[in-house]
Amino acid sequence: MSKIKPSRQTISENPHVKDSKHYPQSGFGEDVGVPSGRDVEWEPLVDYRRHGVSENTIHGAVSWCHGDDIFHSFGGNVWCYGRSMMKPFYVKPFVEKLAGLSIEEKAISVASHNGAAEHVRAAQSILSEGEWGLMQTPLDLPLVQFGRQVRRPRRWYNNSSGHHAAILRGCREMGWNRAGYTLPSHPVFVAFKKEVQKALGPDWKPKHIARDGDGLPTVALTVSDLAKCYARLAIERKQDWIWDAMTSEPDLVGGFNRLDTTILKSCEGRVIAKEGADGLLGLAIEHKDFPKGLGVVIKIAHGWNPQATWYVARSILGVLGFDLRNPYPLNRQKAFIVEGSIPEAYRAKMKKEATWDEWDANRDRWHFDPEEHEQKFGGEFAWTQLKSL
């Protein structure tokens, strides 16, 4: 069989793409001559089954870190952008200058909120009305809407509006020029990198920097790097107000039916959780088995999937003694968690945690035996015989 030789023309060489010279080269088969996709060995994390048959498998990666020790990793040490999961580290340089904010304003400063009225109100209160025009979040609509639908995008509806407002307030208090605060050359990003270095070591430097969805720079980190960062949040939980703000006002961190908000409410102040695009969840956990601080990060391979992430998080927190409620039931499917996402020392406890939602035999299955039916009706689907039953 003859091999098809792929085209060697890259995006950056394509004369039909406007400004193509500014585009990166294609990463698909660039060096090996065949489209190879991402060089990542994803592992199954969640398996959705209908009456014992797998219908959908969600792949991803999980990393557990105690202090600086990555003691369990599953699915590969995947590179990804930290995105909104790293908002606490953007705010850390300003914690002293922003200590006078209300607890609601502190919570909204690290939020990826739904854009509800209470979220907009808390975000706007951080700045004077005359400063509102400085904010550079993209125009957006609320993530979740009730009642009358909002149709005109505004910067305040963007899920990062409170985060941007806090950064602008922090720049004012620090005496930094607020023009260009979203650029990687600005002191905001320099200070953010220093906070990440505290978790990853002084030799850490970002290898890839990209623009996040809210306009701020985001850096590429491995899942294990992110777990180390979240272990650091657990270690430093009493050193600033970030932990208390998130656990005191969980509805401002995310909002209605958001996974991080639900975890914050369920774990009674001993866990902080933060979602991040695309397919990330970070957990910083206070637990007696991990005196140096526990950080756990989940990355879903195909991107944003809060329901699948919810099942994995429920199993992780369950074996640690936390009770996270079920997400909404699947449509006659059951979710099973792959045991590799849990360290071996905790897998015995995993057997006691139901990894699927409530089972209802009347709703989720038929009492139908094909062999019995064939013996009774001769293998034919006889309506006349069925009607006589």
- Interval 334-360: pLDDT, tens: 899 999 999 999 999 988 877 776 767
| Residue 139: how many other CB atoms lie within 10 Å | 11
Q: 2 versus 59: which is more confidently predicted?
A: 59
Per mean pLDDT, which range of 56-70, 268-282, 328-342, 372-386 is the poorest?
372-386
| All domains in the chain, ordered by first residue | 58-350 (3.40.710)
Is pLDDT above 80 for 48? yes
The proportion of the chain whose per-residue pLDDT surpasses 70, expressed as a percent, equals 84
**Residue 291: per-residue pLDDT:** 96
The secondary element (H helix, E strand) that includes residue 315 is: helix 306-319
Per mean pLDDT, which range of 1-5, 72-76, 224-228 is the poorest?
1-5
Helix 223-235 to helix 187-200 angle (10° resolution) is: 90
Q: 111 versus 257: which is more confidently predicted?
A: 111
**Residue 10: per-residue pLDDT:** 46
Across residues 62-67, what is the average pLDDT? 97
**Residue 380: per-residue pLDDT:** 56
pLDDT digits (tens, 9 = 90+) for 72-103: 999 988 889 999 999 999 999 999 999 999 99
Q: State residue 43 phi and psi, 5-degree precision.
A: -120, 150
Which residue is associated with the tokens 């550079």? 136
Both tokens assigned to 276: 């991040």
pLDDT digits (tens, 9 = 90+) for 142-197: 988 777 777 899 999 999 999 999 999 999 999 999 999 999 999 999 999 999 99
Confidence at 384, pLDDT banded by 50, 70, 90: low
Across residues 218-243, what is the average pLDDT? 97
Across residues 17-42, what is the average pLDDT? 53
Is pLDDT above 70 for 3? no
**Residue 32: per-residue pLDDT:** 46
Residue 278: cis peptide before it, omega within 30 degrees of 0: yes
**Residue 29: per-residue pLDDT:** 46
Nearest-angstrom CA–CA distance, 337 and 47: 6
Alpha carbons within 13 angstroms on the beta-carbon side of residue 52 total: 1
Both tokens assigned to 61: 């990666």
8 Å CB contact between 220 and 80? yes
Confidence at 21, pLDDT banded by 50, 70, 90: low
**Residue 305: per-residue pLDDT:** 94
8 Å CB contact between 251 and 61? no
**Residue 5: per-residue pLDDT:** 42
Across residues 106-135, what is the average pLDDT? 97
**Residue 1: per-residue pLDDT:** 45
pLDDT digits (tens, 9 = 90+) for 241-291: 999 999 999 999 999 999 999 999 999 999 999 999 999 999 999 999 999
pTM as predicted: 0.87
**Residue 326: per-residue pLDDT:** 80
Residue 305 one-letter amino acid? N
Helix 161-174 to helix 187-200 angle (10° resolution) is: 100
**Residue 159: per-residue pLDDT:** 96
8 Å CB contact between 316 and 337? no
